[in-house]
Amino acid sequence: MSKSENSAAEPVKRCCPAMDKLMKEHDLPGLPAWSVECLNRLFSSLADPTRLRIIHALVNNDRLNVTELAEHTGLSVSAISHQLRLLRDRFLLNSDREGRAVYYSLADDHVRKLFCIGVEHAYNDCTNSLRREAEREA
């Protein structure tokens, strides 16, 4: 049996149950445009050093206010505030007001998992060229 015959007989492996549902609903090859845009917004939201530092701080702490985030990230309150709004608008963070303070937390465990998988991938990739380059500069 050839490789193509074998793969045609086996069910297609999807990355997650959500992908199975999406492909059933869509019933066409490829991703629907709206899901591509949603993924684009998600990954572009994470493609910023300030936002990554904010997410990292919240992965390691259940909830923090802007001042605490500034302390954890080493960034200014003003640098963080704009990014918090974007992360909240993209459904990556929740915010809860307590008196005058607003506390931020990760929207759900998917955000934590996505960040941690990204760290693992970056760590493995950085053992190659980026890590060696950084070590040379240090």
Long-range own/partner contacts, residues 35-44 (CB < 8 A, 24 or more apart): 41/90, 42/90, 42/92
Q: What is the pLDDT of residue 130?
A: 72
Model confidence at 106, pLDDT cuts 50, 70, 90, reads very high
Average pLDDT over residues 63-70: 97
Average pLDDT over residues 115-125: 86
Residues in contact with 99: Cβ distance below 8 Å, sequence separation at least 6, in sequence order? none
Q: What is the pLDDT of residue 22?
A: 76
Q: What is the pTM of this model?
A: 0.76
